[in-house]
Amino acid sequence: MKAAIVRQAGQSPVYGEFPEPVIAPGESRITVTAASISNIAKSRASGAHYSSSGEFPLVAGIDGVGRLDDGRRVYFALPHPLYGSMCERTVAPTTQCLPVPEELDDVMAAAIANPGLSSWAAFCERARLKAGETVLVNGATGMAGQLAVQIAKHLGAGKVIATGRNADTLRALAGAGADVTIRLTGDGDAMERSFMAQFAEGIDVVIDYLWGASAERLLIAAARAGADGVPIRFVQVGSVSGQEIMLPSAVLRASAIELMGSGIGSIALERLVSLTGEVLRAAAFRGIRIAVDPVPLSRVVEAWSKSGSASRTVLTIDAKGA
């Protein structure tokens, strides 16, 4: 079958032939129609992600949309590590195959499920967001961050603060649910002052997609300006700006910050699958959307190298793998 094949750790996928998957008990075969190129898909394919299997060669991709042998249209997550999702056919645990609402086409469902889950799980499962609370999304100009702003409002946040580097996207977010926007710049002290002004007014939940310098400044600002004894749930989701930070110990002693992560391992897999179903239903019935860029599987080399926050690239697969 045709597939996006990663032959060694650190290499980009190439378009070629890969052996057909073999179904094991408890698995379903899926004829794939769409698979999104997400940050986690890239990280796992490179072997760098903490959940990578370390086995090569493999087919790239961690999720997608397709049809079961009985014709049902499903979203599937975490297929067999060697077969991935960027191929004509794959296998995944039957319990990790979810029906796709009719209101969502294959490309949009594939595009929105993973980035939407990142904030949905963080808000609902880790932060336990309550209606009326104030949320800050750090790194809101990326695809997942843009969805996080929409999802926060959908889940009842009273105020949403969006941070990011892209000024145009921040302006667009002001019309898509963000009540306050903060431009991330190279001036760390200025960023910290902007953060402190918001923490002084009250922030309940921070969803962080960046880590690195902005996360350091956020945590320090929270400790300096947050109200004594009032919890601030800081949920770490992504590390676009860096894998490590330098955090003074006094930040945690002098505040009620609750620092936690959200991702594979911090939430039970069956719960993540269930939450993904909630994301797809919200996208279908509440009109939550992102910009998408469909590209044929045969152009995976070109598509893999694309970057930016303007749209989510989705590989499309027809009966011929094109």
What does the pLDDT look like over 199-236, one tens digit per residue?
Answer: 999 999 999 999 999 999 999 999 999 999 999 999 99
**The dihedral sign for the CA sequence 76, 289, 121, 249:** positive
What does the pLDDT look like over 239-263, one tens digit per residue?
Answer: 989 999 999 999 999 999 999 999 8
pLDDT for the residue numbered 52: 57
**DSSP character at residue 197:** H
pLDDT for the residue numbered 320: 55
The residue ranges of the chain whose pLDDT is under 50 are 321
Residue 133 three-state SS: coil
DSSP line for 23-59: --TTEEEEEEEEEE--HHHHHHHHT-STT----SSEE
CB 78 within 8 A of CB 71: no
DSSP line for 69-116: TTS-EEEEES--TTT-SSBSEEEEEGGGEEEPPTTS-HHHHHHHHHHH
pLDDT for the residue numbered 310: 75
d(CA 191, CA 214): 8
